[in-house]
Chain A
Amino acid sequence: MAVDVLSVKGGLLLLPEMVLLTGILALFFITNLGDAKIRIPLTRLRIPALLGGNRFKWNSDPRIPGVVTIFTLIFAIGMLLQSLGDDCADIMQGFCSETTILTTTGNNPVHLMKLDSFSRLFELMFFLTLLLVSAASINRLQADSNPSNDDLEQLLDNRRQVDFYLLILISGLGMTIVAMSMNLFVLFVGLELASLPIYVMVAFHKETKAGSEAGVKYFITGAISSAVGLYGMSLLYLWSGSLQLTVLEAAWSAMETPEALPLFGISLLLVGFGFKISAVPFHFVAPDAYAGASSPVAALLATASKTLGFIGLMRILMIITLPETGDTAVWMFAFGILSVVTMTWGNLAALGSENPKRMLAYSSVAHAGYMMAALVAVAAWRSGSFAETNNNGIMAAELIVGAVIFHLFVLISFKIGAFMVISHLETESDVKDMSSLHGLAKREPIIATSMFVFMLALAGVPPLAGFMSKFLMVTGIVQVASADVLVNTNVDLVPTILGMHWTFFLAIAIFINSAISLYYYLRIGVLMFFEESSTRLPLPKVSTLRFVIFVCAIGTIFFGISSDWLVDSVTNAASALFTDS
């Protein structure tokens, strides 16, 4: 179904985004209301102008922006669930949505956005991420903006809070646009709308040298990558005359022999997204940015920002360039190598990192590698003879893409959780090296246990959520790689392995890398539980931050044990991605 984006119906479908816009305006107005008066010229009459002046008592609480943001996001989630459409009667059976295409007005409408299970699920993920981050920041901003100054009024600088939350909401708006985009132009606009506020947020901690430096570096490198990606898009436009994904897809499959223009364009586009997901060698700025930014922002970088890149990758790789059955995708080999390099590089670099935030940054590079390997397996599935459906009626490709989405979803729980624990430590003093974690178990047993749970989940230990996602990805890869062999031969181990598609070795690489990564994840546990710290005092009380940590821990365990709902949801999303309409 195609709907005009400027019609009432189109507006209703975009209700969550409308809510975000309203939230942005509300944030702006509410915090600026004051007792300023305008004197009408030549009279003594003063009319309240409301904007400016001293704030009223009710809106002078510095927590107001955070609260407004949280309510906006909750309201947006509600609107999202409300505007899913009729396709799924029961959301408890798995998240899914009606498929609707939003187009421009006119006789020859251009497809701009697509609302389906895929984009809606990602919208949900973005909202959840931002919700957690903004909830965690409520106490945090006041605590660390200037620890040496005890003046509460100054600490709770309201204006600064507004800036932060405005950036969060604007970036959220960009993210949802990326999730929905069916057009490279819209995709790019959304991407930049989401990225620019993040660049600012990285540098938000302007009192420290590291913060501003990180922000500038991140911005420069990001701008260059965006430019490269944009150049790729323009090449594609030159070639096909359209930026619409469906048109590009048709043109791609109509292409008899490889042509230079589209190949070059696609490669550059992939480089642009490679930066977003921090694939090696485009990842270099990531550790600097994570370490310089405040922890909630780093959490945002590691989850939402990375998700943006993966949405772009999936749109390009799975929609435009995935060939018909039997052919090899052009990017398969390059991506396979890149994935192995990325995961190995990330894990090795994390091994020696002494700064916990850098360690988490490298760990997130490694996770990007795992997910890229999974995407390669989809291409292998198309090129192999195993295109039939498996037992449960899920195509292997859907299973794998579903696994990647699953991973991105559960990252919200444990990646954010881990950063939040560090954020909690930062409320006390700067976290420069691992010594801040020493003896945490004695000071804050529950926080330390949660941190350990997050580490185990990152390492992929059952029964936590990280295990399920890694398990699903490896299952998908092995299933695809072994399909050709298992269909027609007796099973003997060595010939079977040798006869497998080379993507099987991606699974092996994931195994080996998981083993390497255990070292540095478990080391955190050792530091927290067995090292002595200089103090036995508990950390400062920051209630919402703690609440967020607990929510993340519960989510990590919950999605590991009872993942049915999420598996169904991501399967819906993955099949929506592959459905043409």
Chain B
Amino acid sequence: MSSEISVEFWVATIPFVPLLTFPIILFLGQYFNGKDWWKNTLKEGGVISLMSMGIVLILTSMVVAQFIGEMHHGQGLDIIDWITFDVLRSDGMTNGVNLGFGIFVDHISLMLLFVASFLCFLINWFSIGYMNTDKINDNRNHRFYAEFLIFCSGMLGMVLADNFLWLFIFWEIMGLCSYLLIGFYYEKPSAAAAAKKAFLTTRVGDVFLMIGLIIMWNIYGSLEFDIIFGWNYFTNPVDMTLLKTALILMFIGAVGKSAQFPLHVWLPDAMEGPTPVSALIHAATMVNAGLYLVARMFPIFTGTADGGLVGDLADVAIIIAIIGGITAFMAAGIAFVQNDIKKVLAYSTMSQLAYIFTGLGAALWFASKGKPELALFALGASLFHLFNHAMAKGMLFMASGSVIHEMHHAHHHISHGEHEGFDAQDMTNMGGLASKLPITSTAMAAGSMSIIGIPLIGGFWSKEGIIAKIWKAAIYDGGYLLFIPAILLLISAGMTGFYMSRMWFMTFAGKPKTKVAEYVHEETPWIKFPLVILTFMTLGGIVFASLHFVSWVSEGHAFHYDLIYEMKHAFLAMDKDGVIDSTFLILTWATIGLSSLIGPIVAMSLYGGRLKEGENAIPTVSWLVKLSGIVRNRWQFDNSVLANSGLAEALRRRLYFDDFYDWICIKLVVPIGIGAALFDKKAIDGVIKGIESGSQSASTWIRKLTTGSARDYIMMVALGSLMFIGLIWGMV
């Protein structure tokens, strides 16, 4: 057995590891329910699932190492063939239609595989600290870990699937787990409602996705990547209108999953779930599924350029980019007024995902216009941003979880278990926590900087790439409609700077706003470890950038260390030949200025401030706190007019989207539902009941003919023979 095959085998086992572990956890949890078993941690499954995720991480690392060593291009490998369809034939095909599950590994899936398994592992680790120390979770943590593991196998499977059908199946598995986990505290009405909302909203997208896939099947006669990407078998001309429709419908599915405008309403509410869930599902991995789906469409778009398809798919790319631009802007705006720490992060997630969508839109646009180099760069930048964002946002959520956890404990400590009327997530209750939570505050600062795009830190490299590419598409290549997302992204960059800084300063700088905030202190080592790891991961963006991460994820080039090249490229807008493009130079510095100067400074002047006397923050963040104090003293201004204006109110009401959807539901969907229920009860049930009683009486009547007397049977044989002969005779 060659080493190559063995790697493929290991890849195939990855999704099955968590899938096989989850029943064990469920079983042990039920079996030892209410009993002490060695240690509660073991009973509740955290350690078992951590081991399982550890195996996944090791396998993934092996595969990544192998990939870097050999630079595979896309490879498909069928491991299970279940049914070979013959009935549904497609004229363009020579082979039978296959519904097997296979493994497909290329640079995109490998990157996502690594992100997913790495973050799953860390967040699992974090959950052991977060979930197991809370009394409210007693005797149900096994459910959490079991659902967590199915989710992981869904994500890993989706990334590895070699056709859209299995991708869709795993996609739905994730949707189910998301529902279950958001509603983990099902006894809370708000959590139950949020779970339902998330499930139903994403379901809207999924229905479109399914229709899109059906159209794809209609076009290609298969959902295999090989066939759709034109690598095999398929040579017939494709109806471009149909293909466009299919792609747009599939994109709507992605919009639902990744919480983009107008199907974004579920994500903020989804924060009702336990914080590790928010970190994992609603920031780091599941919401990336939509991005993955769009990134998977890339070869279809290149098909238009290299002659594989006759026609132009640029319209689809423009739609994707515009949706991204609108969402980025809108979400950033709403994040301005949120006081719940997790909701700020939720809107930030939405906004950052929108960046990636816009970047992908630019990539697809270039691809369909026949500019593969630019397209690959934009794709690489988007995927790099996906990587950076996943790492940073996963960490931010865990850090916010840490804050909430400690706030909660502090409050518990003060009020002796009275939880009524206190919101541990509300930032207006916090303030000045920098001295109490040194590691958390450092991690949060690093994560925020990465999201903002402070130069040299993680997200900067990728965000700059995305903005540059969408502008490039808009200016030089005549995609005038692309100016909309281009401008919106630029503004959003500044807005990101504001709302992320606002969150940090409201939480960590200034004086404690409540008594509770004074009693906070860091406890659990389980919580700290992932934060530290991810801080390095986030700050290490510069290393990844210089390793040519962008080229690596887009094409699979061999990567090499070239910091100077990346620096020149990023800061001086220099192209390959060393020519500086002035438009992009201006653009670059405008972005940097907006995001890392104006935004944060405004936030500092409004929400910054020194700590209470005698408190000292850890050196990594104390400079930040002091700086904010200086800025606040110097430039403080009154924003109450703006804060009380109608716009702010509209933002607080989330731009009335939820109200609008509610109104539609009540006015339109509910009456239809009532009508359908009536119809179901009267007409359909009536018919079914009729059939039931009819067949029962028919059964009784028929069985009466079986008299039990052989004489009658023989007569029946005789009659039957006569009838049979008559029928045959009659046919001749």
A267 to B721, Cβ gap below 8 A? yes
B724 close to A (CB within 8 Å) = yes
* Cβ-defined contact, B713 with A479, below 8 A: no
Q: Which of A225, A271, A280, A392 is the most central at the interface, judged by chain B CB atoms within 10 Å of its CB?
A: A271
Q: How far is the CA of A564 from the CA of B700 in the complex (A)?
A: 42
Interface: B696 (CB within 8 A): yes
Give the Cβ gap from A497 to chain B, nearest Cβ, in Å: 15
Minimal Cβ-Cβ distance residue in A for B696: A352
Chain B residues with CB under 8 Å of A287's CB are 706
Q: CB within 8 A of B86: which of A288, A345, A351, A390? A: A390
- Near A by CB (< 8 A), chain B positions 705-732 give 705-706, 708, 710, 712-714, 716-717, 719-721, 723-725, 727-729, 731-732
Given A217-B710, A221-B717 in contact, is the A337-B699 Cβ separation under 8 Å? Answer: no
Query: Does A348 interact with chain B (Cβ within 8 Å)?
Result: yes
Are the CB atoms of B82 and A267 closer together than 8 Å?
A: no
**Given the contacts A284-B706, A284-B712, A352-B696, A391 and B89 also touching, CB distance less than 8 Å:** yes
**B698: Cβ under 8 A from any A Cβ:** yes
Q: Among residues 80 to 98 in chain B, which have CB atoms less than 8 Å away from a CB atom of chain A?
A: 81-84, 86-87, 89, 94-96
Contact B727 A268 (CB under 8 A): no
**Alpha-carbon separation in the docked complex, A332 to B731 (Å):** 9
Contact partner of A225 among B717, B719, B725, B728, CB < 8 A?
A: B717
Residue A75 interfacial (CB < 8 Å): no
CA distance A225 to B720 in the complex (A): 11
Q: Which residues of the partner chain A approach B66 to less than 8 Å between Cβ atoms? A: none
Residue contact A330 to B87, C-beta cutoff 8 Å? no
A516 to B727, CA, bound (A): 28
Inter-chain contacts of B699 with A (CB < 8 A)? 348-353
Q: Say if the beta carbon of B579 comes within 8 Å of chain A.
A: no
B235 on interface, CB distance cutoff 8 Å: no
The complex places the Cα of A315 from the Cα of B694 at a distance, in Å, of 39
Complex Cα–Cα for A224 and B717 (A) = 9
The answer to whether B703 touches A353 (Cβ under 8 A) is yes
Q: Identify which of residues 364-395 in chain A touch chain B, using a CB-to-CB cut-off of 8 Å.
A: 390-392
Residue in A228, A274, A352, A478 whose beta carbon sits within 8 Å of that of B87 in the complex = A478
Asked if B714 and A224 sit within 8 Å, CB to CB, the answer is yes
The chain B residue with its CB closest to the CB of A267 is: B725
CA gap between A221 and B725 in the complex, in Å: 19
Q: Are B728 and A284 in contact (CB under 8 A)?
A: no
Tell whether B641 is near chain A: CB-to-CB under 8 Å. no
Residues of A close to B708: CB separation below 8 A: 288
Given contacts A348-B695, A351-B695, whether A284 and B713 have CB atoms under 8 Å apart is yes
A-B contact count (CB 8 A): 111
CB distance from B566 to the nearest CB of A (A): 52
Residue of A nearest to B699 (CB): A352
Q: Are A330 and B86 in contact (CB under 8 A)?
A: no
Task: Decide yes or no whether A454 CB sits under 8 A from chain B.
Answer: no
Once the chains bind, are A333 and B727 in contact (CB under 8 Å)? Answer: yes
Q: Is A293 an interface residue (CB 8 A)?
A: no
A524 beta carbon closer than 8 Å to chain B: no
Is there a chain A Cβ closer than 8 Å to B702's Cβ? yes
A267 partner, pick from B83, B94, B710, B724, beta carbons under 8 A: B724
Q: How far in angstroms is the closest Cβ of chain B from A394?
A: 8
A333 to B731, CA, bound (A): 7
Q: Once the chains are docked, how many angstroms separate the CA of A463 from the CA of B80?
A: 14
Q: Residue A338 at the B interface, CB < 8 A?
A: yes
Check: A220 CB closer than 8 A to any chain B CB: yes
Majority SS at the chain B contact face: helix
Do the beta carbons of A281 and B96 come within 8 Å of each other?
A: no
State A220–B708 Cα separation when bound (angstroms).
Answer: 13
Confirm or deny: A334 has a beta carbon within 8 angstroms of a beta carbon on chain B: yes
With A216-B710, A478-B87 known to touch, is A349 a contact of B703 (CB < 8 Å)?
A: yes
Q: Which residues of B contact A268 (CB under 8 A)?
A: 721, 725
CA distance A342 to B93 in the complex (A): 39
> Cβ of A313 < 8 Å from any Cβ of B?
no
Secondary structure type dominating chain A contacts: helix
Nearest opposing residue in chain A for B96, CB measure = A391
Inside 8 A of A352's CB, which chain B residues have their CB?
696, 699-700, 703
Q: Flag B644-680 by CB within 8 Å of A: 1 or 0 each.
A: 0000000000000000000000000000000000000
Partner of A281, one of B83, B94, B717, B729: B717
Across-interface contacts of A463 in B (CB, < 8 A): 82
Is residue A6 contacting chain B, with contact meaning CB distance below 8 A? Answer: no
Interface residues of A in 455-479 (CB under 8 A from B): 463, 471, 475, 478-479
A425 at the interface (CB under 8 A from B): no
B86 / chain A contacts, CB cutoff of 8 Å: 390-392, 399, 475, 479
Interface flag for A263 (CB, 8 Å)? yes
Residues of B within 8 A of A288 (CB): 706, 708
Also in contact, A284 and B731, with CB within 8 A (given A268-B721, A270-B724): no
Q: Quick check: A263 and B724 within 8 Å, CB to CB? A: no
Question: Which A559-575 residues have a C-beta within 8 angstroms of B?
Answer: 561, 564
- Report the separation of the CA atoms of residues A258 and B727 in the bound assembly, to the nearest whole angstrom: 14
Cβ of B12 to closest chain A Cβ, rounded Å: 17
Q: Does A331 contact B (CB under 8 A)?
A: yes
Tell me the minimal C-beta distance from A486 to chain B in angstroms. 8
Interface string of A203-230 (1 = CB under 8 A from B): 0000000000000110011001100100
Bound CA span A264–B732, Å: 12
Chain A minimum-CB-distance residue to B85: A475
Q: How far is the CB of B335 from chain A (nearest CB, A)?
A: 47
| Smallest beta-carbon distance B575→chain A, Å | 52
Using A220-B710, A332-B731 as known contacts, say yes or no to A228 and B703 having CB atoms under 8 A apart.
Answer: no
Q: Does A419 contact B (CB under 8 A)?
A: no
Which residues of the other chain, A, contact B731 by a CB distance below 8 angstroms?
328, 330-334
Query: How far is B699's CA from A287's CA once the two chains are assembled, in angstroms?
Result: 14
Residues in A neighbouring B696, C-beta threshold 8 A: 351-352
Can you name the residue of chain A whose Cβ is closest to the Cβ of B703?
A: A349
- Which chain A residues border B714 with CB–CB below 8 Å? 220-221, 224
Is A252 close to B, CB under 8 A? Answer: no
Closest B residue to A225 by beta carbon equals B717
Please encode chain A, from 134 to 159, with 1 for each CB lying within 8 Å of some chain B CB and 0 for all others: 00000000000000000000000000
Closest Cβ–Cβ distance, residue A332 to chain B (whole Å) = 7
Interface centre among B86, B698, B732 (most CB of A within 10 A): B86
Q: How far is the CA of A235 from the CA of B227 in the complex (A)?
A: 59
Per a CB cutoff under 8 Å, which of B81, B702, B724 touches A345?
Answer: B702
Smallest Cβ distance from A467 to chain B, in angstroms?
A: 10
- What's the Cα separation between A270 and B724 when bound, in Å? 9
Q: Determine if B727 and A337 form an interchain contact, defined as CB atoms under 8 angstroms apart.
A: yes
The distance from the CB of A465 to the nearest CB of chain B, in whole angstroms, is: 13
B contact residues around A221 at 8 Å (CB):
710, 713-714, 717
List residues of chain B with CB within 8 A of the CB of A165.
none
Beta-carbon contact of A282 and B732 below 8 Å: no
A47-94 contacts to B, CB under 8 A, are: none
Bound CA–CA A263/B84 (angstroms): 40
Contacts of B82 in A (CB 8 A): 463, 561
Which residues of chain A from 316 to 343 have any CB-CB distance to chain B below 8 Å in the complex?
328, 330-334, 337-338
Q: Which residues of A contact B705 (CB under 8 A)?
A: 284
- Chain B's closest residue to A259 (CB) is B732
Q: How far is the CB of A339 from chain B (nearest CB, A)?
A: 12
* CA distance in complex: A391, B92 (Å): 12
Cβ A348 vs Cβ B717 within 8 A: no
**In the complex, A98 Cα to B95 Cα: how many Å?**
29
A281, A348, A471, A478: the one contacting B698 at CB < 8 Å is A348
- Known pairs A271-B720, A284-B717, A391-B94 / 6 extra A-B pairs, C-beta < 8 Å: A268-B725, A332-B731, A348-B702, A349-B699, A471-B83, A475-B86
- 13 A-B pairs within 8 Å (CB atoms) are namely A221-B714, A268-B721, A280-B720, A282-B720, A284-B705, A284-B712, A284-B716, A284-B717, A330-B732, A351-B699, A391-B96, A392-B84, A486-B89
Q: Lowest 4 CB-CB distances: which A-B pairs, in order?
A: A352-B699, A334-B727, A281-B720, A284-B713
Q: Name B residues whose Cβ lies closer than 8 Å to a Cβ of A.
A: 81-84, 86-87, 89, 94-96, 695-696, 698-700, 702-703, 705-706, 708, 710, 712-714, 716-717, 719-721, 723-725, 727-729, 731-732
